[in-house]
Structure 1
Amino acid sequence: MLAAIVQFSRSLTLLAACATLPVALAQTDTESFFEKIDTLQASHASSAERIAALSALFHGAPYVDGNLGEGTQGKYDRDPLYRFDVFDCTTYVETVLAGALSTSANDFASNMRRIRYQGGHVSFVSRNHFASADWIPNNQWLLEDISEAVGQEQTLMANTLIDKPAWYQAMSENRLQGLPDGIDRSALLQALQQEGKHFKAQQVSTPYVPLSAVYQGEKINRALLDRIPSGSIISMVRPDYDVKKWIGTNLNITHQSIAIRKAGTLYLRHASQFKKEVIDEDFVEYFQKYDSKSTLKGFNVQQPTF
């Protein structure tokens, strides 16, 4: 889950955390992942093939909210910079993208930093916390927004105010992770909130394909689904999602996943908060769970350009 939702879940324990370790990739087995990168590079696999192969390694990996931070040198969050045993929805997407982008295992760490942090600069305040305001716009160096090409004339825009200063002020001490005993958490939280005051509230607009476009009466709009490339990043859009009273700001995006096409059928591959593990779900069946009264109105589509 995105860091904004991580804070939401930690503050309320209402939103966004486990299961057994995946057979494909044990907790300490990073070699399998790096070897796969080298194998895919040697085979000249396409970006979609690399994303599919690397993401499949983590099938069944446990879902754990907010599992990454700034490493041992972090000021506010010393959770690992990367890991391969547990994921939330965004760290799963980031790990797969960083691996697929890498020409060798040596590239992975720097790619991960560049995807997770603005300009690749590792710090809590430069992390891409908000998908609509940070993660998507700051990663247009490797992604292209094709929501309009997918939704065509049915494409809509989600608009909201991402109020970062208020988000920082709404934080509590449990936002400080992986710190040793004896640290003055109260003072550290105050320092983090002070850093947050330097941001400005930001109006953001997120293009999305409405769920109503996926269906034509009782029939599935197969032509629309066919316009979603395998390997694309699918972000769930809840326009102007009203959670300000809990986390200090409203949101446009609350979940991220990867579109994977298998035997002609489109799936969402993602670290599911509800299933508590990395799973594949039929794309259509996933969205059929949400009716017109739901706050989930559609999805944004980002196609890798590498």
Structure 2
Amino acid sequence: MDNMKQLIKQFSALITLSLILTGCVSLPEPIYLTDEEVSIAAKVGITEQQYRVIKTSQLYQLSPRQTDQYLRILHEQEPDLRKRIGRIAEKNIGQPYELYLLGEAPFEPYDSQPLFELSKSDCVVFVEHTYAMGLTDNWGDFFKTLQHIRYNNGEVGVVTRNHFTEYDWNRNNNWLVEDISSIAGENTIKTYEQTINKERFFAKQFGINVPQDNVKTVETYVPNEHIPAVAQYLQTGDFVNLVRSTGKGAWVGHVGIIKVEDNGKVNVIHSASPAVRKEGLLEMAKSFLAETPERFAEGRTATVGFKVLRLHETANDNLKAKFDGNVPPIMMLNRKYEYLTKEQVKTKLALMREQAKKDLIENALEQSKQSDIK
């Protein structure tokens, strides 16, 4: 039997060699490393073969160990934060998309998803991973920074997670990004009001009782027709929020990262079904503008514009300053929330809707009184 296996192997090798010699099968192109890459491999402590695998793979195909090696390589190669973030975003093009990807498992029971996932992403996960990797040169610091981006003050938990883009993510990460939507002038922006009802959100999404007061916020964004005026000011690594609406009210429904090409073209790299991709910002805005009237007429949601936020090049220093110079380790605080049954959630949401109606009526009456006074 062993002799037969050996003969089969030899015969297969002869067939393969014959196909190569006749041109029917071609050998893969050899992967060469530059002298600089060979030097970096030695400096970060990996073999040239390990470097070749990392060089020829997309980021989502790498293991945590290989990701650690990639971060060490990248930070040796590229000292510029914006360029690093652009390269990281491009190295994840093709990463499969999956919505509602991450949670706090196994540290909390309220969301069964894990704390990190490299092989897939949704739009927020893609952005958070890209920024955290751009700011750090090893896995340990990446994971720590990731949680400080994802959770308020790095306190890991379902309630401290930055769920609402405008109110939570953008504000709690003001050490990382700053809203510059009005950079092209006040005549290129619009505003919308938003009421954040976290108590309702936690009841509906996770079935837990977390009493919190509603908060109101006023947000600024650039309508699609004014994006050409704003695009010229954008830089690689900037953060964009896609603002959506049904014609009444507005909210951020998607996010991405800006990549400005050498020829000046402004692209958005973002995670959307079926996978991470790169698209032209001006082309996106033009398409959204054209389809909005029809979508509104059909009662569907339309993307009406973009919030634009500038990446701070001093982000690491800003994060340290937030904690008086010493960024604390990520923390898991012991929290226990009351579970709600489906019936309790239904009742709770109904009561909240009734209260919201009463508030609208009271606000309308108050505005009417103020108008009479004037």
Above 0.5 in TM-score? yes
> Letter of the aligned partner of 1:287 in structure 2?
A
TM-score, length of structure 1 as denominator length: 0.75
Corresponding residue number in structure 2 for 1:210: 223
* Corresponding residue SS for 1:125: coil
Task: Report if the CA contact (8 A) 1:236-1:254 is conserved.
Answer: yes
> Letter of the aligned partner of 1:209 in structure 2?
V
Q: Which is richer in helix?
A: 2
Alignment of 1:72-83 (within 5 A): 72-83=106-117
Counterpart Cα distance in 1 of 2:57 and 2:75: 24
Pair 1:226-2:224 in alignment: no
Q: Label 1:66 to 1:300 Cα distance change in 2 as closer, same or farther (>3 A).
A: same
Corresponding residue number in structure 1 for 2:260: 261
Q: Label 1:167 to 1:241 Cα distance change in 2 as closer, same or farther (>3 A).
A: farther
Alignment of 1:1-306 (within 5 A): 24-25=58-59, 27=61, 29-150=63-184, 152-171=186-205, 175=206, 189=207, 192=208, 194-195=209-210, 198-214=211-227, 221=228, 223-238=229-244, 252-263=251-262, 264-273=264-273, 276-291=274-289, 292-293=292-293, 295-305=302-312, 306=315
Counterpart Cα distance in 2 of 1:31 and 1:38: 11
Q: Deviations over 1:71-94 (max 9, x none)?
A: 321221132211210000000000
Task: Report if the CA contact (8 A) 1:271-1:279 is conserved.
Answer: yes
Q: Label 1:230 to 1:152 Cα distance change in 2 as closer, same or farther (>3 A).
A: farther
Counterpart Cα distance in 1 of 2:184 and 2:144: 31
Counterpart Cα distance in 2 of 1:272 and 1:132: 19
Q: Label 1:134 to 1:252 Cα distance change in 2 as closer, same or farther (>3 A).
A: same
Deviation at 1:142, TM superposition (A): 1.2
* Corresponding residue SS for 2:218: strand
Counterpart Cα distance in 2 of 1:280 and 1:66: 21
Runs of 4+ in 1 over 4 A off after TM superposition: 239-242
Deviation at 1:240, TM superposition (A): 8.3
Gap runs ≥5 in structure 2: 1-55, 296-301, 316-374
Deviation at 1:43, TM superposition (A): 3.5
Identity across aligned pairs (percent)?
A: 25
Q: Label 1:260 to 1:26 Cα distance change in 2 as closer, same or farther (>3 A).
A: closer
Corresponding residue number in structure 2 for 1:5: none
> Letter of the aligned partner of 2:198 in structure 1?
K
RMSD of the TM alignment (CA)? 2.2
Q: Label 1:166 to 1:239 Cα distance change in 2 as closer, same or farther (>3 A).
A: same
Q: Label 1:225 to 1:66 Cα distance change in 2 as closer, same or farther (>3 A).
A: same
* Corresponding residue SS for 1:124: coil
Q: Deviations over 1:251-299 (max 9, x none)?
A: 61100001111232111100013xx100001111112222342532211
Task: Report if the CA contact (8 A) 2:257-2:270 is conserved.
Answer: yes
More divergent stretch after superposition (258-267 vs 83-92): 258-267
* Corresponding residue SS for 2:182: helix
More divergent stretch after superposition (59-68 vs 25-34): 25-34
> Letter of the aligned partner of 1:265 in structure 2?
K
> Letter of the aligned partner of 2:222 in structure 1?
V
Counterpart Cα distance in 2 of 1:236 and 1:82: 24
> Letter of the aligned partner of 1:95 in structure 2?
H
TM-score, length of structure 2 as denominator length: 0.62
* Corresponding residue SS for 1:147: coil
Task: Report if the CA contact (8 A) 2:270-2:277 is conserved.
Answer: yes
> Letter of the aligned partner of 2:98 in structure 1?
V
Report the count of equivalent residues: 248
Gap runs ≥5 in structure 1: 1-21, 176-188, 215-220, 243-249
Task: Report if the CA contact (8 A) 1:154-1:213 is conserved.
Answer: yes
Deviation at 1:23, TM superposition (A): 5.1
Counterpart Cα distance in 1 of 2:59 and 2:194: 39
Q: Which has the larger radius of gyration?
A: 2
Task: Report if the CA contact (8 A) 2:60-2:92 is conserved.
Answer: no
* Corresponding residue SS for 1:236: strand
